[in-house]
Each structure stands twice: as structure tokens, then as C-alpha cells.
Structure 1
Amino acid sequence: MIKAVFFDIDDTLYDTSGFAKLARRAALNVMVDAGLPLSTDEAYKILREIIDEYGSNYDKHFNVLTKRIFGEEKPLLIALGMITYHNVKFALLRLFPQTTATLIYLKKQGYDLGVISNGITIKQWEKLIRLDLHHFFDHVITSEEAGAEKPDKHIFECALEKMECDAEKCVMIGNKFSEDILGAVNIGMSAILVNSELKESEKEYIKENCIKIDVISHIGELKDIL
């Protein structure tokens, strides 16, 4: 019997991908207007390369961008980019339609709720607070805190220890097969993939390794499984 339910945050509880691109392009538009000697499309291409190189949780993408273009950091442009990015991001921050109702339902059913997320601890808490979700979760475990990123077993072990629950009594909900689903399954937890479709290679892996997971199209379907 499942006693604890863990969630990923980005693209699981709310739409990260939808707003991130818009916020970044808005920031670059302002930077271009203020003197960045590129078109927004050209700057966005470089920014994407920087994000891929440093990771999405790195907090100095605009610093690196200006240094690559000018050979040195440009504080004014960096500040303009950062402020615009955060203003647009928070303006567009929206939960998936059934997130709050599902969390309320799970709490009423007596489940302990937690978060397992790759990222910086303060940033992850900031997201949950701005989304007004922080009060639902008993524990929030981040890769910064655990010293390991999903799918590494250690971050899941930290989560189980904090929740004081055995792996077989826990389920992980996430949108990334390799990080959320395999990470959970490899430690003995159940797993549910949400807001994502399995690739053919992933289907083959599941079949070859006799892995049992559930796949749902939106978070509201958890009510029918748990």
C-alpha cells in the first residue's frame, strides 16, 4: 500500500517549458534595445548554448552571455535581462489545471506528500511558494541538499529517509523518464509518468527489463490510480 507520494516540480506541477522561452526572449529583447549588438534570435541561440552547457539551474546565464559577446561582463545589460526574465516568468507562472485539486485530494486521503527535485534549494522553495503549494508538502528534497541529482539513488535515499518510509510504500510522479521514473524504480519505488509520452527506446527498455510503470496524460488522473 502506498503511503507517500513524491513529485517533481517543473513540467509536473506547473508548465515550465511554456513560459521559460517567452521569458528569456523578453529579457533578450530588452537587452538588445539597450545595446546588445545582436538580433534577439541570434542572442537566443547563444543563450540556449549557454543553458545547455551550464544547466538550467545556473543563475548567471546572462553574465556568460555578455562576456562571450563583449569579452567582459556588462552589469547594466545583465541586470536588465535578469529583472525582465523574472518579471515575465512570475507573471506567466501557472499551475496545470488540476494540480491544486489533486494535492488536496491526496492530502485528504492521508498520503504524505514530498518533492524530489534537481535544482538549487532556495529556487525550488521559491517556485512552490509563488505557486502557493509549499504547505502541501511534508518534505522537499533537492539535488543541492542531497549532493546528487536524479536519477542517482542517493537523492531518492535522502527522500525516503526524511519521509521515514520504505521504498515499496512510495511512488514518484514526474515528467522525465530517465530522471524521475528510472531513478525511482531503481531504488524500489513505484513510478508514474505524467505530461510526457514514452519514446520507442524507452518502451523497449521497459519491456526488456520487465518494469511496471503507469503513464497518465495529466495530474488529475492520479485520483484514479492512488
Structure 2
Amino acid sequence: MELTRMKVVFFDLDGTLFDHHHSLRLAIAAMQRNYTGLTEKTVDELIDKYNIALQQAYDAYLDKVITYEEADVRKLHLFFSSLDLPEPSLDEVQKFRDTYKAVYRKNRRATSGSIEALARLREHGYRIAIITNGQVEDQTAKVKAIGIHHLIDRIITSEEAGYRKPDRRIFQSAIEQLGASLDTTCMIGDSVESDIKGALDAQLVAIMYSPTAQNSQKLLFGQQITIIQHMAQLLGHLGIGGYRVQPHFVSTPGRLMIEGIDTGLVWEPRHCLQVSKEGAQRDCSSWLKE
């Protein structure tokens, strides 16, 4: 199906629009510094163990086996068990939760290029929704924290819909809420099972978001699935012009703002490079005119 026919775009949140890995890495590193039992493992090893524990506990919550609060505690018990560490006390659990959540929330950010992509989609008249497994309050807060809430038409959560991805019914609910058509709607996500399989089961066009992928396509569930490594590529597939990549200078008294160094640095304030005018003249002399 021609992607240029799309009029509605559904996005996953965690790992697609929200840079979960960035927040997770910093939060796990903070936990490691506060607990000597974690120092024997690398941060990457701890992240792998934590993600497994997180998924197991969260799946139990989504299946309504345990409450959200219980999932938070079970996650840490599973994490410690996977590291062959003693089960944490209630005080330790609370300490870890406080440390983890404070650092995680402080460092929430959008994935590279996603804010620009959403803005360009809005400019071109696309309707945009997020389909996410989770609680309304938590996921909405996350969307607001990373600065994309004003660019989204609707946030559909598993809590509100009563179904979780990959259940086709949550996608069908999103279609109904936006008054969309199957043949002009696509789903972008990083999970093969939750996002790609779910979208295909709902007869939607599916696009895989994978920043580390080496290929532009992959055969999944009997279909060739388009893979994008950066949100700029999504715009290209939809027939929307790419990013401005030439450096742009904004001068204020005593400061010089440089934007647009490459596609990963454009538009997002957290990536803007601020330097003194003297520093820019010294380091970027090939770009600046006296």
C-alpha cells in the first residue's frame, strides 16, 4: 500500500516517541550508585535484567493479576532475584522506587526527531494518536513532559480501552475515535509483537521504528514491513519534505544559537547548541563570516 495515501498516523509511546532507554539508563545508574550490591554488574547488564523484570511485572498488571502498586514492588523483587541478591526489605523497595522515579522522570525526553516529525505531520493535515499500554494518568503525564501533548489528537490507553496491544480491539477503538479509515491509517512502533502484529491483525499498515536496525525492510508475519531508524525517514515515506540540515544562526547579545547541525539536532530545544560568539568563531570558523 502506498504510504503517501496515509491521512492518520498512530504511534506507540514508550520507545517510539518517548526515549524510555535514555531515562532508564540514567535511573539504573543512579540505583547502582546507591546500592553496593549492584556494582558488580555493568549498567547494560542491569538494564537487561531490569527490563525483563519490568515486563513480567507489567504484564501481570495488564492481565489484571495484580494491581499497579503491586507491580511496582514485584518488579524490584524479580530484579533482585535475577541478580541473585537477597529480597529487598520494604524500606529498600521504597528507597529504590524513590531514587528510580526521581531520576527517570527528571530525564524524560522525546526520541530524536519525533517532535519535528509530529509538527510536520500536523502542518500537513494528518491526524495523530498515541496507542499505549498503560494508565491514562501516567502516560498522559509522560506525553506532556516530553513536549508533544499539543501535537496529539488523542491518547488511547489500554486502561481506558479495556484492551491492551496487540489485541486488535484497541486499534479498532482508535480508528473509531478518530473516525479514520483502515486504508489511510498506519501504525508506528518499536515492538514487533505489540505494535506490528497488533496493527497487522487490525488490518492497518505497520511501520517498525528501530534506531539500531541495519535494514530498511523485514519480513514479519508474512508481510514486508518498512523499518525506519529515524523519524525523518517516516516523513520521507509519507511524501513530506525532509529536515533543514544547513546550520542556522540566531544571534542575541553576547550569545549565538546554532541550530540544524544534522537531522538529529534540528528543532528540539534539548539538542540546540549554545555557545559564545567567540567560541563559535573559533570552533566553527568555516561556517561563520566575520
TM-score bucket (shorter structure) = 0.7 to 0.9
* Superposed displacement of residue 101, structure 1: 1.0
User: What's the counterpart of residue 14 of structure 2?
Assistant: 10
Instruction: Work out which structure has the larger RCO, using CA pairs closer than 8 Å and 6 or more positions apart in sequence.
Output: 1
Whether the 8 Å CA contact 1:175–1:195 is kept in 2: the answer is yes
Contact 1:27 1:80 in 2 (8 A): no
Map of 1:51 onto structure 2? 54
- Percent identity for Structure 1 against Structure 2: 28
Which of 79, 82, 88 pairs up with 2:103? 88
Deviates more, 1:143-152 or 1:16-25: 16-25
CA contact (8 A) 1:194 1:216 kept: yes
Matches within 5 A, 1:23-172: 23-30=27-34, 32=35, 38-41=37-40, 50-55=53-58, 58-61=71-74, 64=77, 73-74=89-90, 76-172=91-187
Aligned to 1:223, the other structure's residue is in SS state helix
d(CA) in 2 for partners of 1:171 and 1:192? 7
- Distance in 1, matches of 2:99 and 2:88, equals 21
Q: What RMSD, in angstroms, separates the aligned Cα atoms of the two structures?
A: 3.0
Contact kept in structure 2, 1:66 and 1:73, CA below 8 Å: no
| Higher mean displacement: 168-177 or 54-63 | 54-63
Q: Which runs of 5+ in 2 are unaligned?
A: 62-70, 239-290
Q: Gapped runs of 5+ residues in structure 1?
A: none
Question: Which residue number corresponds to residue 276 of structure 2?
Answer: none
Structure with higher Rg: it is: 2
CA deviation after TM superposition for structure 1 residue 187, in Å: 1.3
Give the Cα separation in 1 of the matches to 2:116 and 2:52. 38
Q: How far off is 1:52 after superposition? A: 4.2
Q: Higher helix proportion, which one? A: 1
The number of aligned residues is 215
Could you say if the C-alpha distance between residues 212 and 71 of structure 1 is closer, same or farther in structure 2, counting changes exceeding 3 Å?
closer
| C-alpha spacing 1:168/1:212, structure 2 compared with 1 (3 Å) | farther
Aligned to 2:203: 188
The yes-or-no answer on 1:213 pairing with 2:225 is yes
TM-score (norm. length: structure 1): 0.80
Aligned mates of 2:110, 2:193 — CA distance in 1: 23
